[in-house]
Structure 1
Amino acid sequence: MKLYLLVVIFTAVVTSVLTWAVLHFSLRYKLYPAIRERDVHKRPTPRLGGVAMFLGVCAAFAFSTQFPFFAIIWVNPAPVLAILAAAFVIVVVGVLDDVWDLDWFIKLGAQFLTAGIIAFFGQFQIYSLPIGGITVGSSWMSFTLTLFAIVIVMNAVNFIDGLDGLVAGVCLIANGVFFAYSYLLVRDFGASTYFNVASFIAAVLVGACLGFLPLNWSPAKIFMGDSGALLLGLLMATSAIAITGVLNPAVLDPERLGRSQLLGAFIPILLPIVIVLLPLLDFGLAVIRRMGAGRSPFSPDRKHLHHRLLDMGHSDRDAVLIFYAWTAIVSFSFLLMYIGTQEEWPGDYLLGAGFGLVGVVACLVLTFLPSRPRARHVPTEIPA
C-alpha cells in the first residue's frame, strides 16, 4: 500500500509540473480554440492538459520499474506497452481535435483503433462475466465486446467534460474507489498479474487527476480537452476489464455461495460500471436524444446533465460538486456492500445499502434545490 501511495504522489507532482509547463507553452503560442456556442467558459482557454496527464502516466509507469513490488507487471511487458501505445494514439488524436476540431467519424475510428490495440496486443479482453458462471462464447465475441466496452467508456467520460474540474474530480473519486476495490479483491481472491495492473492503473489515474485538478478548478486556467478525457476513459476501461475480464466465474458463482455472499457474486461486475454511472447515463441520454432527432449521436448540443444543472439554477461550482457527491455516494455504497459481503459483518451489506439510501436522498435534495434563483432560459440548440 505504501508503494501505491508513493506512485500516487509521484504522478501527482509530475503531472502538476507538466500541466503548468503545458499551460505556459499554450499561452505563449496561442494554442487554444475560440469559444464554442455550447461552452460555459467566457474566455479562450488552452485545452492541452491531456498532454501533461499522458506524460505523467508515462512517468509513473517508468517509475514503477524501480521497485521489485511492481516487477510482476513487467515480467511480460507487452500488455503495458500496448496500454501506453494506445494511450499515445488517443492523446495525439485528441490534441488534433482540440486544436483543429476533427470530424466525429475520424475520432470514432481512432477510438476503435486504440481499443483494438488494448484488446489484441495487450490481450486485455472480457473473457468471462462473474455472474453465475457466464462466459463469452468465442474469441471474436470477446474481442468485439471489449472494443465496444472501451469505446463506450471513453465517450462517456468525454461527454461530461463541460465544466471546470468536472471530469478530473469525478475520475479522481471513481478511481480512488476502484483502487480500493481492486486492492481488496486481490486480497480476497489471490493476486495475479492483471489484478496488479488494474490496481496500478487506478493509482496512477488518481495521481494524474490530483496533479491536474488545481489548475483545472474553477475558474480553470487549462482544460484537459478530448486528449485528457479520452485518455482517462481508455485507462479506466482497461483497468476495469483487467478485473472483470479475467475473474474465474466459478469463484463467484452464486450457486456456490451462501446468502451473505450472493451480492458479492454480482458486485465485481457492477462496481466497475457504477463508478462511471453518471458519465454512462449522460452518454446514453445524449445518444438517444440525438438519434431521436435524426442527428449523429456525436453531434454537439447543450443538453448534457451538467448543462441541465446550470439551467436549473446551480452555479458552475455547485453543479460540479453535485456530480462529485453523486459519484462518491453511489461508488462508496457499492464498495461498502462488497466489503460487507466479504467480511461477513453483522447486517452484511445493509450498511452499504443504508449509506447509499441516505446519500441518494441527500443528493436528490441538493440536485433539485438550487442555491440561487432559476437561471433565465438559455437556448439549448446550436445554430446551424
Structure 2
Amino acid sequence: MIVTLLVALVGAAVSFLMSIVMWRVGIRFKLYPAIRARDVHTRPTPRLGGVAMFTGLLAALLLASQISYFAPVFYQGREPQIISILCAATLIVVMGVLDDFFDLDWTTKLIGQVIAAGVLAWVGGLQLDSLPIGGVTITSTWSSLALTLITIVVVMNMMNFIDGLDGLVAGIAIIANGAFFLYSYMALQASGSAYYFSLGTLISAVMCGVCLGFLPLNWHPARLFMGDAGSLLVGLMFAVASISVTGSMDPTTFLKAGGGFSRAHYAPAFTLLLLPVAIMIVPGLDFALAVVRRIAAGKSPFSADRKHLHHRLLDMGHTRLHATLIFYAWTAVISVGSLLFFVADQVVAWSFIGGGLVVCALATLAPLSHRKRREYQVQAKPLASTTTEIAVLDPLDRAGATPKERSA
C-alpha cells in the first residue's frame, strides 16, 4: 500500500504544479470563456484544470510502470488494456477542452464519449463480465460490450452534470476514489489474492492524488476550473476502476476465501460489490433528474440548464461553500457506511448510515426553517409597528382612563 500511496503523491504533486501553470497561462492569454447564465461564478476563470489533472495521471502511471511491484498491472499481457485507457483518456480530455472553448453540440460530445468507451471495451477488453448480483455471468459478448459502453458513458456524464460549484467534483472524487481504493484493497485481501493491488486499486489511488493536487486552486473562490475535460476524465477513470474490479468479481468469492467469512457475512460482501453504485448516488440522482426533466420539456437530455441539485441548494439559501460541503457529507456518509459493512458489525454500519443521513438531511433543509422564521418576522413587524404607532398617537386612549387623565 505504501508504494501505491507514493505513486499517488507524485500524481498530486504534478497535478498541483501543472494547475498553477495552467492558471497562469489561462490568465496571461485570457483563455477563459464568457460567463454563462447558468454559471454561479462572477469572474472569468480558466477551465484548463483538466489538462493539469491529465498530466498528473500520466506522470503517476508512468512512474508506476517503472516499479516492479506493479508489473502485473502493466505487463504480463495487459499492455493493450493500459494503452486503451491512455487513448480513451486522451480523447476525452481533448474533446473536453474543445467543448470548453467552442461549446460543442451534444451529439458530437456523445459520439466522442461512446468512441472512448468503445476503445476501452473493444480494444482494451475492459468489460463487465459479471454483475454484482449473485455473480451473474454475462455470456453474450455483445451484451457485455453494450452494458460496458452504457456504464462508462453514464458515469462520465454523472460527474460532468454535477460540476457546477468550486471544488465539488474534485472533493467528491477524492472521497469516492478513496473509499473505492480501500474497498478494492480489502476485497483482494479477503479473496486470498497473492497481490493486494490491481488496476482498479492503482487507478483509484492515483485519481485521489490527482484531484487532491488540483483542489487547492479549485477551492472556493476558485482560480481554476477543471472544465469538461476534467469532469469527464474523473468519471472515465472511476468507471475504469469500478469495472476492472467489480465487473469480474463474484460475491461468493468472499465466502470461499477462508478469510473468516461465513454465510452471515454474505450481505456485507454483496453490499460492497455495489459500492461503486452507492457512492455515485448523489451524482446519479442529479443525472437522472436532469434527464427526466429535459426529456419531459422536449429537450435533449444533454442540454444545459440551471436546475441541477447544486443550483437548487443555492436557491434554498445555502452559500456555495455550504452547498459543496453538503455534497461532501452525503457522499462520505454513503461511502464510509458501505465500507463499515466490511470491517464492523452490521448494526454499526446501519447506525452510521442512518444517523449520517438524518444529519445530512437536517443540514440540507436548514435554510427552509430559517426562511420561514424570517417570513414570520417580516409579517409580524408591520403589526408591531402599527400597534406602537397607535400607542404613540394616543397613549391614554385606552379602556379605564378617566376624563381628567385624558385632558391632562
Q: Equivalent residues in 2 for 1:261-272 (5 A)?
A: 261-272=265-276
Partner of 2:244: 242
Change (3 A) 1:186 1:101: same
**2:308 counterpart of 1:311:** no
Return 64-73 or 81-90, whichever deviates more. Answer: 64-73
Consecutive aligned runs of 4 or more in structure 1 exceeding 3 Å deviation: 190-195, 256-259, 371-375
Give the alignment's TM-score, normalised by structure 2: 0.86
Rounded to whole Å, the distance in 1 between the matches of 2:304 and 2:367 is 26
Change (3 A) 1:194 1:226: farther
Rounded to whole Å, the distance in 2 between the matches of 1:115 and 1:357 is 36
Residue 130 of structure 1 deviates from its aligned partner by: 2.9
Question: Identity of paired residues, percent?
Answer: 51
Rounded to whole Å, the distance in 2 between the matches of 1:275 and 1:63 is 29
Rounded to whole Å, the distance in 2 between the matches of 1:131 and 1:302 is 36
Which amino acid counterpart does residue 63 of structure 1 have in structure 2?
Answer: L
**2:97 counterpart of 1:100:** no
Which amino acid counterpart does residue 285 of structure 1 have in structure 2?
Answer: L
Partner of 1:178: 180
CA contact (8 A) 1:314 1:371 kept: no
Residue 251 of structure 1 deviates from its aligned partner by: 2.4
RMSD: 2.1
Rounded to whole Å, the distance in 1 between the matches of 2:11 and 2:23 is 18
If you compute each CA radius of gyration, which structure gives the higher value, 1 or 2? 2
CA offsets per residue over residues 314-340 of structure 1, 9 Å max, x none? 000000000000000011000101233
Rounded to whole Å, the distance in 1 between the matches of 2:22 and 2:307 is 31
Change (3 A) 1:194 1:297: farther
**2:289 counterpart of 1:285:** yes
Partner of 1:38: 38
Partner of 2:356: 359
Residue 245 of structure 1 deviates from its aligned partner by: 1.2
CA contact (8 A) 1:11 1:211 kept: yes
Change (3 A) 1:253 1:139: farther
Residue 352 of structure 1 deviates from its aligned partner by: 1.0
Partner of 2:18: 18
Rounded to whole Å, the distance in 1 between the matches of 2:98 and 2:189 is 42
Rounded to whole Å, the distance in 1 between the matches of 2:194 and 2:43 is 48
Secondary structure of the equivalent of 1:264? helix
CA offsets per residue over residues 176-219 of structure 1, 9 Å max, x none? 11100011011111337896100000000000110000000000
Runs of 5+ unmatched residues, structure 1:
341-347, 376-384
Rounded to whole Å, the distance in 1 between the matches of 2:193 and 2:94 is 34
Q: Equivalent residues in 2 for 1:1-384 (5 A)?
A: 1-75=1-75, 76-191=78-193, 196-248=198-250, 250-251=252-253, 258-340=262-344, 348-370=345-367, 374=371
Residue 262 of structure 1 deviates from its aligned partner by: 2.3
Secondary structure of the equivalent of 1:369? helix
Which amino acid counterpart does residue 157 of structure 1 have in structure 2?
Answer: M
Which amino acid counterpart does residue 59 of structure 2 have in structure 1?
Answer: A
Partner of 2:377: none
CA contact (8 A) 2:134 2:250 kept: no
CA offsets per residue over residues 65-124 of structure 1, 9 Å max, x none? 232111111112211111011000000000000011000110000000000011112211
CA contact (8 A) 2:269 2:342 kept: no
CA offsets per residue over residues 129-169 of structure 1, 9 Å max, x none? 13223111300000000000000000000000000000000
CA contact (8 A) 1:131 1:253 kept: no
Rounded to whole Å, the distance in 1 between the matches of 2:65 and 2:84 is 16
Return 203-212 or 245-254, whichever deviates more. Answer: 245-254
CA contact (8 A) 2:251 2:273 kept: no
Which amino acid counterpart does residue 266 of structure 2 have in structure 1?
Answer: L
Change (3 A) 1:19 1:372: farther
Rounded to whole Å, the distance in 1 between the matches of 2:244 and 2:322 is 34
Rounded to whole Å, the distance in 2 between the matches of 1:50 and 1:179 is 22
